[in-house]
Amino acid sequence: MSLPCLPVFHVPVVVHTPVHSAVGAVLSYACALQLAPGTLVRVPLGAREMLGVVWDGLATPPDGVALRPIAAVLDGIAPLDGHWRRLVAFAARYYQRNLGEIALAALPPQLRDLQPEQLSRRLRRPAPSDAVVQAAAPRVALTVEQEAARAQIANQAGPFLLFGSTGSGKTEVYLRCVQEMLAADPSAQALVMVPEINLTPQLEERFTARFGVASVVALHSGMTNPQRLKGWLAAHSGQARIVLGTRMAVFASIPQLRLIVVDEEHDPSYKQQEGARYSARDLAIWRGREQGAKVILGSATPSLESWYASRPATTDDPGGRYLRLHMPSRIGAGALPRLRVVNMNHQPRRTVFSAPLLAALQERVERGEQCMILLNRRGYAPVLHCADCDWKSDCPHCSAHQVFHKADRTLRCHHCGFTVRVPWACPGCGSPDIAPMGRGTEQLEEQLTALLAGVHRPDGSPVRVARIDADTTRAKGALEAQLAQVHAGEIDVLVGTQMIAKGHDFRRITLVAAVQPDGALFSSDFRAPERLFCLLMQAGGRAGRDAQYIQTQGSRSEMWLQTFHPEHPIVAALRQHDYTAFAQQQLQERRDAAMPPFAFQALVRADARTQEVAQGFLSAASEAAHALGLPGLGDHVTLYPPVPLAIQRVANVERAQMLLESDSRPALQHFLAAWQPVLLALRSQPAHKGLVRWLVDVDPLAI
Task: Answer yes or no: are the C-beta atoms of 599 and 661 closer than 8 Å.
Answer: yes
597 cis-preceded (ω within 30 degrees of 0): yes
Task: Answer yes or no: are the C-beta atoms of 67 and 61 closer than 8 Å.
Answer: yes
Please list, in sequence order, all residues whose beta carbon lies within 8 angstroms of the beta carbon of residue 637, skipping any fewer than 6 positions away. Answer: 660, 661, 662, 667, 668, 671
Q: Which of 166, 163, 526 is nearest to 309 (CA)?
A: 163
Please list, in sequence order, all residues whose beta carbon lies within 8 angstroms of the beta carbon of residue 508, skipping any fewer than 6 positions away. Answer: 369, 370, 489, 546, 549
Please list, in sequence order, all residues whose beta carbon lies within 8 angstroms of the beta carbon of residue 104, skipping any fewer than 6 positions away. Answer: 14, 15, 16, 51, 52, 53, 112
Rounded Cα distance, 613 and 227, in Å = 43
Percent composition of the chain: helix, strand, coil (DSSP 3-state, to 5):
35, 25, 45
Rounded Cα distance, 69 and 556, in Å = 71
Q: Binding site membership: which residues?
A: 386, 389, 395, 398, 413, 416, 426, 429
Amino acid at 21: S
C-alpha distances out from residue 376 to 160, 399, 696, Å: 31, 20, 28
Task: Answer yes or no: are the C-beta atoms of 189 and 240 closer than 8 Å.
Answer: yes
Q: Which of 101, 109, 86, 98 is nearest to 220 (CA)?
A: 109
Is beta strand 72-73 parallel, antiparallel or unpaired with respect to 383-386? unpaired
Q: Binding site membership for Zn(2+): which residues?
A: 386, 389, 395, 398, 413, 416, 426, 429
Rounded Cα distance, 415 and 382, in Å = 13
Crossing angle between the packed helical segments 280-291 and 82-94, to the nearest 10 degrees = 140
